[in-house]
């Protein structure tokens, strides 16, 4: 399959390129400098030139706090840029997968029959509280409106070797400090891009469409994630729990954003702890080369 990957130089895009190469696909990876998704004419030109069989859109404005200030720029990439790619794919008669986020939810957990919080599933109502989440939700709407072949994949708390992320930040802090303060009242599903990337390709190969939730299995707080990271990496650094109120940020974060899929045609990702182990192994391998 000839696959066009937008945002190929980003953290997820790099792992998609690696996974696609291992799977034997013909890859056309385009970085932001090579394809500005906000330029509809440039997007059409890429389709005319590269004639893909499917598209994976990993491009996005990912600066959550910056989006509060740069609303128009965030919408241009996450909403209209996603729409440009989706409409071009529809005109070409090919499927597209758009990577979205847990931030499309309001962070108020739904309750199970026993009264305990349950993960969000695809049919739950959305209600983003941040500009970033709002721009991604608008991107979802434009993608799904463009073609019934297209898929929207909501994932969360991405970390990988190819970009800035929470795990890398914690590793850097652990090298400098004996104690780090980490938020304990935000819960989600950490997701290793090394697991997510091949799963995205699998959706394309199996022609899965519509809204899909794909995130590391299991839910944990940011402080719990950091503690497990330090345990696995054998860092002598202690995690001190903090509240969101103690560590204010410009953009509101969902207090609860655990994701699961209710679909029978979607295979769950491995536990987030396994993803963390894979990330640390991949990081160590890169440092040795």
Which pLDDT tens digit goes with each residue over 27-36? 999 999 999 9
CA angle 55–88–25, rounded 5-degree value: 20
CB atoms under 10 Å from CB of 14, counted, come to 21
The predicted model scores a pTM of 0.96
Task: Give all strands (DSSP E) within the chain, no chain letters.
Answer: 2-6, 26-30, 54-57, 95-101, 110-111, 117-118, 151-155, 158-159, 179-183, 187-188, 191-192, 210-213, 220-221, 238-242
State how far the alpha carbon of 288 is from the alpha carbons of 11, 256, 281, 285, in Å: 20, 37, 11, 5
In the three-class reduction of DSSP (H, G, I as helix; E, B as strand; rest coil), residue 17 is classed as helix
Which of 69, 2, 10 is closest to 35 using CA atoms? 10
Please state, in angstroms and rounded to a whole number, the distance separating the CA atoms of residues 259 and 219: 8
- Of the candidates 98, 103, 120, 132, the residue annotated as catalytic is 132
What is the structure's pLDDT at 284?
A: 87
What is the structure's pLDDT at 156?
A: 97
- pLDDT < 50: residue spans in the chain: none
Active site residue 132: yes
Which strands make up the sheet holding 210-213, listed edge to edge?
A: 26-30, 2-6, 54-57, 95-101, 151-155, 210-213
Instruction: Tell me the pLDDT tens digit for each residue of 73-90.
Output: 999 999 999 999 999 999
DSSP notation for 50-93 = H--SEEEE------HHHHHH-HHHHHIIIIIIHHHHHHHHHHHT
Please state, in angstroms and rounded to a whole number, the distance separating the CA atoms of residues 231 and 237: 9
What is the structure's pLDDT at 289?
A: 52
CB atoms under 10 Å from CB of 108, counted, come to 12
What is the structure's pLDDT at 112?
A: 83
Please state, in angstroms and rounded to a whole number, the distance separating the CA atoms of residues 32 and 140: 20
What is the structure's pLDDT at 189?
A: 98
Tallying the residues shown for the chain, one arrives at: 289
Q: What is the largest CA-CA distance in the chain?
A: 56
What is the structure's pLDDT at 241?
A: 95
């Amino acid at each position: 399959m000839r696959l066009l990957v937008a945002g190929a130089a980003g953290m997820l895009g790099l792992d998609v390129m690696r996974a696609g190469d291992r799977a034997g696909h013909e890859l056309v990876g385009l970085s932001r400098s090579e394809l500005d998704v906000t330029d509809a004419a440039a997007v059409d030109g890429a389709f005319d030139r590269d004639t893909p069989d499917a598209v994976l859109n990993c491009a996005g404005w990912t600066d959550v706090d910056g989006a509060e200030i740069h609303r128009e720029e965030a919408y241009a990439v996450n909403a209209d840029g996603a729409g440009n790619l989706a409409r071009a794919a529809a005109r070409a008669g090919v499927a597209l997968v758009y990577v979205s986020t847990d931030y499309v939810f309001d962070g108020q957990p739904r309750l199970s029959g026993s009264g305990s919080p349950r993960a969000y599933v695809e049919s739950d109502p959305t209600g983003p509280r941040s500009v970033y989440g709002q721009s991604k939700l608008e991107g979802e709407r434009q993608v799904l409106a463009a073609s019934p072949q297209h898929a929207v994949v909501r994932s969360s708390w991405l970390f990988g070797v190819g970009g800035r992320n929470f795990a890398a930040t914690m590793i850097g802090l652990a090298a400098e400090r004996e104690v780090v303060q980490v938020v304990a009242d935000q819960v989600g599903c950490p997701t290793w891009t090394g697991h997510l990337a091949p799963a995205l390709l699998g959706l394309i190969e199996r022609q899965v469409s519509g809204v899909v939730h794909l995130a590391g299995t299991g839910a944990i707080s940011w402080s719990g994630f950091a503690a497990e990271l330090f345990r696995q990496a054998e860092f002598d650094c202690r995690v001190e729990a903090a509240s969101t109120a103690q560590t204010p940020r410009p953009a509101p974060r969902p207090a609860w954003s655990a994701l699961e899929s209710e679909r029978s045609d979607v295979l769950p990702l491995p536990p987030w702890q396994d993803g963390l182990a894979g990330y640390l192994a991949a990081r160590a391998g890169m440092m040795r080369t």
